[in-house]
A and B are shown apart, each in its own frame.
Chain A
Amino acid sequence: MAIPSLFLTPGRRQALGATLGQDCIAKMKPLLDRSAQAEHAFVLDLTGVTDVNGSFLKATVFWALQCGQADVRRTTSDNLTPWAIRPLKLFPAVTGCSGEVVDEIADFFSGRSLPIMHLEKTSSGKRVTQLILGTLDPVLDRTLSALISLGEGTASNLATRSNETISISGWSNRLADLHLLRLATRQRQGKYFIYKSAADAISLWD
């Protein structure tokens, strides 16, 4: 099933500062609350934005990443502000980024050794193309590529198709890491998880 998207648009050319980011998050709270129960993509749409800075990114798309990781780790928070980090089933991404904005986002996430999905429409329309901005470990990058070419599957499926000599639990750990980084979704099926690239799972412009 496709994951629905929640779009955050700053509404101005310069997306700067934590206060603006927090206000955007607060306005989205009723929508974001849905992601406590069901998976959603959190898409920061920077179309038309000429400048963005770390404080704004930290308050928005990085916040969404931390909330997604809090959900995976089952951590809780007693902070009641709308922008407190709390468990939400969010898969963060950015879209519509111009060249300098891409650089700023890449710098921000590289500085934390983390990746973020950069999603764009293909020229044919609704399908999504994905780049990774920031830093993704080469092993995880290969694992993500393998998952994308498989479509969806378990650690065992990837182990069967791969030439790499690692155990199924090794594959399982890699996929779990991709899920924690919010680059892969997963559904439990019996004893196993079925993983899929988050970019392939997201229903972005349908």
Chain B
Amino acid sequence: MAAMVVDSRNSDAIRRLLLGGSSVINRLDGAHGFTLPGLMEVIASAAGVPSNGELESQLLRYISAHSRSPLKACWDGWRSHAASVFTADMHGVRPLEFYRLRERDDQTSDAYQLFQERFVRSLKENQFPAKFANALAGVLVEVTDNVIQHSRREPGEYDGLAAYHVEPGYMAAVVIDVGQGVLASLTHSPDWEHLQTSEQALRAAVIDHASCRPGQPQGEGFRFVLKSLAERNCRLRFRSGDAALRIEEIGGVHDGTITGSPQLCGLQFSICCALKGPPDERPILFS
């Protein structure tokens, strides 16, 4: 099998295999790298696909054979009781950090503040202007806030993970949860109960700024995200249920591109941004 990078598209393929009852270990073994969005969606698949024990056991087998893989750090981040898990790249710097969201306080704690500060510092150390670095941190805060505000119908334990990957002139940030998903969240509101598909729900939430709060049909979160990133060289991916929405060239009128995606609960959000060149998903460099 040809070597491949596990990006968000290939994580869709892995989940499709899994949903079809096939083994994915060969796919993982054949991977020569992971992008952060790909990595995080594989972890979400392990946690969120019904009968996920199969993928989890295959992941554990893969991790035991590839202890320096970023997949191990991501898995540790998901399973850890610690707030944050760092890992170092082949140059010994720390471009990659995972932060788990299990409790409401995880959104407002000192540990979260530090996570946010390290993200900003990493961006500044990698050529991002201070103002843009703060704007990106604001976007990350807003999207992790969504996990607490919307991924569950009732308060309780959350299943979320946030992460960033920074290298010179490039960053990716991802927030995943395996909660109720956008469609279930929005249709809780009488204003949006007519929505029937994940595709409609993603468009409503991201493009029309729909909110699940009764009596408040318009929300602020994704409006803020798009406003913060307008005219920046960013690419966004929102994945929920059986649909994914990709937005590029943010600013002005945009309605994004919808594609199908193998079923997975919750919402998985990623942003890639390059100061120069295309803002594609880039593999994390590990030895």
Binding site for B on A (CB under 8 A): 12, 14, 16-20, 23, 50-51, 53-55, 57-58, 108
Q: Which residues of A contact B118 (CB under 8 A)?
A: none
Contact assessment for B220 and A20 in the assembled complex, using a CB-CB cutoff below 8 Å: no
Whether B221 is near chain A, meaning CB under 8 Å from some CB there, is yes
Contact assessment for A16 and B142 in the assembled complex, using a CB-CB cutoff below 8 Å: yes
Whether B54 is near chain A, meaning CB under 8 Å from some CB there, is no
CA distance in complex: A111, B216 (Å): 14
Q: Which residues of A contact B113 (CB under 8 A)?
A: 12
Q: Which residues of B contact A51 (CB under 8 A)?
A: 134, 138
Within the complex, which residue of B137, B144, B220 is in contact with A54, where a contact is CB–CB below 8 Å? B220
Contact assessment for A54 and B149 in the assembled complex, using a CB-CB cutoff below 8 Å: no
Contact assessment for B134 and A53 in the assembled complex, using a CB-CB cutoff below 8 Å: no
Contact assessment for B220 and A55 in the assembled complex, using a CB-CB cutoff below 8 Å: yes
Q: Which residues of A contact B116 (CB under 8 A)?
A: 14
Closest partner residue, chain A, to B147 (CB atom): A19
Contact assessment for A17 and B134 in the assembled complex, using a CB-CB cutoff below 8 Å: no
Within the complex, which residue of A19, A50, A55 is in contact with B224, where a contact is CB–CB below 8 Å? A55
Within the complex, which residue of A14, A19, A55 is in contact with B104, where a contact is CB–CB below 8 Å? A19
CA distance in complex: A51, B216 (Å): 24
Q: Which residues of A contact B144 (CB under 8 A)?
A: 17
Within the complex, which residue of B134, B149, B219, B220 is in contact with A19, where a contact is CB–CB below 8 Å? B149
CA distance in complex: A58, B141 (Å): 16
B222-245 at interface with A (beta carbon < 8 Å)? 223-224
Q: Which residues of B contact A108 (CB under 8 A)?
A: 220
CA distance in complex: A114, B282 (Å): 44
Q: Mask for B126-155, Cβ within 8 A of A = 1, else 0?
A: 000000001001100110110011000000
Question: Shortest CB–CB separation between residue B134 and chain A, in angstroms?
Answer: 6
Contact assessment for A17 and B107 in the assembled complex, using a CB-CB cutoff below 8 Å: yes
Question: Shortest CB–CB separation between residue B100 and chain A, in angstroms?
Answer: 16
Q: Which residues of B contact A17 (CB under 8 A)?
A: 107, 141-142, 144-145
Whether B80 is near chain A, meaning CB under 8 Å from some CB there, is no
Question: Shortest CB–CB separation between residue A2 and chain B, in angstroms?
Answer: 33
Q: Mask for B106-123, Cβ within 8 A of A = 1, else 0?
A: 011000010010000000
Contact assessment for B134 and A18 in the assembled complex, using a CB-CB cutoff below 8 Å: no
Closest partner residue, chain A, to B134 (CB atom): A51
Contact assessment for A18 and B149 in the assembled complex, using a CB-CB cutoff below 8 Å: yes
Question: Shortest CB–CB separation between residue B32 and chain A, in angstroms?
Answer: 37
Contact assessment for A53 and B107 in the assembled complex, using a CB-CB cutoff below 8 Å: no
Within the complex, which residue of A16, A50, A54 is in contact with B141, where a contact is CB–CB below 8 Å? A16
Contact assessment for B108 and A53 in the assembled complex, using a CB-CB cutoff below 8 Å: no
Within the complex, which residue of A12, A20, A50, A57 is in contact with B134, where a contact is CB–CB below 8 Å? A50
Q: Which residues of A contact B219 (CB under 8 A)?
A: 55
Question: Shortest CB–CB separation between residue B174 and chain A, in angstroms?
Answer: 18
Contact assessment for A18 and B138 in the assembled complex, using a CB-CB cutoff below 8 Å: no
Q: Which residues of B contact A18 (CB under 8 A)?
A: 145, 149, 220-221
Contact assessment for A58 and B134 in the assembled complex, using a CB-CB cutoff below 8 Å: no
Q: Which residues of B contact A19 (CB under 8 A)?
A: 104, 107-108, 145, 148-149
CA distance in complex: A17, B168 (Å): 28
Closest partner residue, chain A, to B219 (CB atom): A55
Q: Which residues of A contact B220 (CB under 8 A)?
A: 18, 53-55, 57-58, 108
Closest partner residue, chain B, to A57 (CB atom): B220
CB-defined A-B contacts under 8 Å, sample of 17: A14-B137, A14-B138, A14-B141, A16-B142, A17-B141, A17-B142, A18-B149, A19-B107, A50-B134, A53-B138, A53-B220, A53-B224, A54-B223, A55-B142, A55-B220, A57-B220, A108-B220
CA distance in complex: A18, B146 (Å): 9
Q: Which residues of B contact A20 (CB under 8 A)?
A: 107-108, 145
Closest partner residue, chain A, to B131 (CB atom): A100
